[in-house]
Amino acid sequence: MRILAAGDEFVGTELLISEVRAEIGDQEFSRLSLPWPVEPFGPVANVHEASGTEAQVIEALAGAEVAVTQMAPFTKQVFAAAPELKLVSVCRGGPVNVDLAAATEAGVAVTYAPGRNATAAAEFAIGMILAGMRRIATSSAELLGGAWRGDYYAYDKTGIELEGSTVGLVGYGAIGSRVAKVLLAFGARVLVADPFADPARITADGAELVELDDLLRQSLVVSLHARLTEQTRNLIDAEKLALLPEGAVLVNTARGGLLDYSPLPAALRSGRLGALALDVYDIEPPPADWALRDAPNVIATPHLAGASRQTAERAAKIVAAEVGRYARGEALANVANPDVLTR
């Protein structure tokens, strides 16, 4: 079986090949190395968050029956040029770099890797919450810049503790549920807004399911963990921000599109927001004239929440396991286009 391994600087090509070999033995591999994350991902034709070009993928796919990748663009043009292709296994939480309609039309199953970065992203979110509540990042930057902020010990400028605080989680999937367990261990009260979550599970975990507006009104900290859809785009806008308690901390390590960024600078300067911690953005990377660069109490990291060595290793193992199921004629575990199975 000929397999295309299209890796990048995070989930490397040789790591993908090694895990596939461990699953089904040696095969005939073609290799493609993509420049992400050294070069940012972006749209390619009609797919999003992709790295490399259609021409590169088409050339590397010649004769391949299976492809494993994280970022390679699989567009209608790519599927049309690869008639022998039967499986694309994507080691991401969602195969946004694949045209699923075109894949289904071509009879190609597309799998993905749910939960691959859940541990890394949950741990990172907790770090961002603590950094925002206790001025960890901003005071460090000020100290390194020469300012000793002893005034942060003044009562009205001190940080707040997790124990006894109410924290709202918008989304309760693999990441949000992990964040909740850590917050509860700290002694926080945890509210959850997620119309798709199992209420019984939330209650059993020790959290409380509420409507979004109620969560915003009650939560001193709000952390976003929802998927980006047309329904959740700009979910937190100026109207929703106005519901937050004065001085609340807002954290987004999920998707940039969940936030309307335009009201955030004014909310920080007025004190409506006490701190803003971001790992994702509406434009990545943010432009030079980004309005939040000189806003107070902003923590900004370059989309690192899922970046751990274990995430890369886990992602490669997940896609390799799908290749193993395919090779053995077993049912695939995580199919993004299940209609293809009836074709």
* DSSP-derived 3-state class of residue 102: helix
Q: Is 65 a catalytic residue?
A: no
Q: Out of 255, 272, 314, 325, which one is annotated catalytic? A: 255
Could you tell me which residues come within 8 angstroms of residue 218 by beta carbon, excluding any fewer than 6 positions away? 166, 168, 191, 210, 245
- Choice among 31, 227, 233, 303 that is catalytic: 303
Indicate if 48 belongs to the active site.
Answer: no
Residue 40 preceded by cis peptide, ω within 30: no
Catalytic residue among 201, 284, 293, 343: 284
Amino acid type, 154: A
> Which residues belong to the active site?
255, 284, 303
